[in-house]
Amino acid sequence: MSRPQADDGFNPKPGQPEEVAPGVRRILAPNPSPMTFRGTNTYLVGTTALAVIDPGPDSDQHLEALLSALTPGQSVSHILVSHSHMDHSPLAARLAQETGAPILAFGTAEAGRSAIMTELADQGLVGGGEGIDRAFTCDQTLVDGEIIRGAGWQLEALHTPGHIGNHLCFAFGDLLFSGDHVMGWASSLVSPPDGDLTDFMASCHRLRLRNWACFLPGHGAPVQAPQERLDWLLAHRRQREASILAHLESAPATAPELAAAIYRETAPALLPAAERNVLAHLIDLFQQGHVAPLTSLHAKATFRRGR
């Protein structure tokens, strides 16, 4: 599902703060898996009153690590959450309780969902819902372009739906905390109805318009050539789209059939995610009028070429 990047050597010790840029420390959470790579990256921004970006999964060990990273005189003034997935947001509530800092995010798990995905979700047609933190709430909702000012730092919230409707990236000068939207080690899971491929592509195009020095992702190593990575992601998705259309040219097929045919070198553990990505493409292509379900639109529907 992903072309291996330079992340092969990325293996930080969980719980150990590491400076990754001036005024930015990264602490790896102890939750490695095929979907989270080495685990979730939590970032601390600032030197006195800090922003914590993506507290991570509900883990005593990680909460302890985050609190231990505060040196004398340091406190947490803001807790920022890129999106409400179980590996990013659940620890926010406990960290808020411990530090008194407010939680800032785009909104609950369904915030920012596109019109078609809202419709499909309401009709229960596309399954999905992997890893959603349904209990997530925040103290303050952020809108696109909003500036968050702290002690000696400021961050800009950028609404980047696609992986999930409530996904935010945070700009810190020419650094971008890119969450699960852009990572070096894998392309993002886009699983309807939380994920929307049309939105994902638009969010990538939008980030491409700015000049970035580096992306600090939710999983894996810093992305040192972010423009190239965005170009690769966009090209990769267009290539997938072309493969899907080519397969449907010869015969109608379902998302699982297409995934099996297209993702030939994908590890079995990642095939369900590949099927979800294919479904996201099919819905996107359906909206553009390039494919249509034989009967009605649902997760296992058979799709054909044409309107």
Positions touching Zn ion (CB under 5 A) are 85, 180
Q: Which is nearer to Zn ion, 34 or 100 (CB)?
A: 34
Q: Which is nearer to Zn ion, 46 or 184 (CB)?
A: 184
Least CB distance to Zn ion at residue 191 (A): 10
**Is 183 exposed, middle or buried, given 0-12, 13-18 or 19+ CB atoms closer than 10 A?**
buried
Least CB distance to Zn ion at residue 179 (A): 7
Least CB distance to Zn ion at residue 301 (A): 25
Q: Which is nearer to Zn ion, 99 or 108 (CB)?
A: 108
Give me the residue whose beta carbon is nearest to Zn ion. 85
Least CB distance to Zn ion at residue 210 (A): 22
Least CB distance to Zn ion at residue 87 (A): 6
Q: Which is nearer to Zn ion, 58 or 180 (CB)?
A: 180
Q: Which is nearer to Zn ion, 25 or 85 (CB)?
A: 85
Single out the residue of 184, 163, 155, 135 nearest to residue 52, CA to CA: 155
**Is 282 exposed, middle or buried, given 0-12, 13-18 or 19+ CB atoms closer than 10 A?**
buried
| 79 contact partners, CB below 8 Å, separation of at least 6 | 51, 52, 55, 92, 95, 96, 99, 101, 102, 103, 104
DSSP 235-266: HHHHHHHHHHHHHHHHS-EEHHHHHHHH-TTS
